[in-house]
Amino acid sequence: MKEPSTIKDDVEFWRWREYHRVVQGKKWTNKDIITAGVDVGSVSSKAAIMINGEAYSWGIIRTGSNSPESAKKALDWALEGTGLKLSDFKYIVGTGYGRVNVPMANKAVTEIACHAKGANYIWGPSVRTVLDVGGQDIKAIRSDETGRVVSFLMNDKCAAGTGRGMEVFADLLKIPIEEIGEISLKVDEEPPPVSCTCVAFAKTEAMGLFRKGWSKEMVLAAYTRAMAVRMASLIDRVGLEKELVITGGQSKNIGVVSRIEVVLGVKCLPMPNWRENGLDPMIAGALGAALFAKALYEKAQKT
């Protein structure tokens, strides 16, 4: 997946941290409804385990070339340290771009529904607009107080603004992807956005800006701004209703998030402290899927 033309050494600047976590102080018994959601995206695969509809553990890995294997790996990682095994799950829902390729899933649910549901779980019932910035597409979703989808708009088949586009830029500028947001904010004055949203053209434009003497920070600011404008226009078109939240990998990019806030003139709900004990906005889809799994299990019990 690396860019042959831009990588000269072994440093993979696009690489972000894969990790797993078990929520401390939570116990499960066989009487609990244990469910899982597996979200196989184009760039990352996420699995979340819930006990009675409450987040218990999760794992995030990079999606490999084989979707079923990525799904299994993500779930295995979420299981690590929990004492749970596959047979303990009452129900598993698969979601994401590779949702039909989640072998252990009882059912597949679209990622739009899962992200709305998961955002509602992470931030609560005040969420009305969810911007999900994934590896390969951007979705703006309107939802009600229960996390049900009201309407949505999607930008796909174009890398502009996506996580993958950001990875390409991280490689081009030789800046680790997790630092891109902070670095893009280190400018005295916000430069004008790059004029090309197409990532291929933006790369050429960025090289031209370097030759003009721009710093990495300025080039990154100009690129991030252009991407933020693009995402904001998608939100505008779906109709912005407060509260706004951002999910997906780019929710962790402070450079993108803060610029979307400036362009739209609204603040997003604060990001949970995912580095310590908070929920990770990247697993919103997996959490939503695990919640659907619980609902589907309960429905099956009634009939």
Partner 1 sequence: MITVGMDLGTQKVQAVILKDNAVISRGQAFSGFDPTKAAEQAVDEALKKANLKISDVAYFVATGSAMEMAPYANSTVSMMGADAKAGVYLFPKARTIIDIGAEEARAVKCDEKGLMVDFVVNERCAAGAGTFIEAMARALEVKLEEMGPLSLKAERASPINASCVIFGESDVVSLIHRQESKPEIARAVFDAMADRISSMVHRLGVNPDVVLVGGVAKDVGFVASLNRKLGVNVLIPEFPDFAGALGAALAAASRAREGQK
4 part of the interface to partner 1, by CB under 8 A: yes
150, HSE (Cβ side, Cα atoms, 13 Å): 14
DSSP string, 61-117: EE--S-HHHHHHHHHHHHHTTT---GGG-SEEEEESTTGGG-TT-SEE--HHHHHHH
Binding pattern to partner 1, positions 14-53, x when CB under 8 A?
----------------------------------------
DSSP string, 220-287: HHHHHHHHHHHHHHHHHHH---SSEEEESGGGG-HHHHHHHHHHHT-PBPPPP-TTTTSPPGGGHHHH
Which residue of 11, 86, 100, 200 would you call a contact of partner 1, by CB under 8 A?
A: 200
Selection from 65, 78, 66 nearest residue 38 by Cα: 78
Kindly state the smallest distance separating residue 156's Cβ from partner 1, in Å: 8
Selection from 43, 33, 13 nearest residue 300 by Cα: 33
3 part of the interface to partner 1, by CB under 8 A: yes
Which residue of 33, 150, 198, 254 would you call a contact of partner 1, by CB under 8 A?
A: 198
Which residue of 23, 154, 196, 262 would you call a contact of partner 1, by CB under 8 A?
A: 196
Angle at 152 between CA 192 and CA 51, to 5 degrees: 110
Kindly state the smallest distance separating residue 109's Cβ from partner 1, in Å: 24
Stretch that binds partner 1, among 68-76, 156-164, 260-268, 295-303 (CB under 8 A): 156-164
1 part of the interface to partner 1, by CB under 8 A: yes
211 part of the interface to partner 1, by CB under 8 A: yes
Kindly state the smallest distance separating residue 28's Cβ from partner 1, in Å: 39
| 35's tokens | 């469910």
180 part of the interface to partner 1, by CB under 8 A: no
For the four alpha carbons of 63, 65, 71 and 73, in that order, the dihedral sign comes to negative
Which residue of 70, 197, 224, 253 would you call a contact of partner 1, by CB under 8 A?
A: 197
- 257: Cβ contacts below 8 Å, ≥ 6 apart: 181, 246, 250, 251, 268, 271
φ/ψ (deg, to 5) at 245 = -135, 160
157 part of the interface to partner 1, by CB under 8 A: yes
Kindly state the smallest distance separating residue 258's Cβ from partner 1, in Å: 24
215 part of the interface to partner 1, by CB under 8 A: no
Stretch that binds partner 1, among 184-192, 200-208, 232-240, 277-285 (CB under 8 A): 200-208
Kindly state the smallest distance separating residue 195's Cβ from partner 1, in Å: 8
Could you say which residues in the range 62-121 bind partner 1, by CB under 8 A? 65
| 141's tokens | 């979703």
Residues that bind partner 1 (CB under 8 A): 1, 3-5, 65, 136, 157-159, 164-165, 168, 196-201, 208, 211
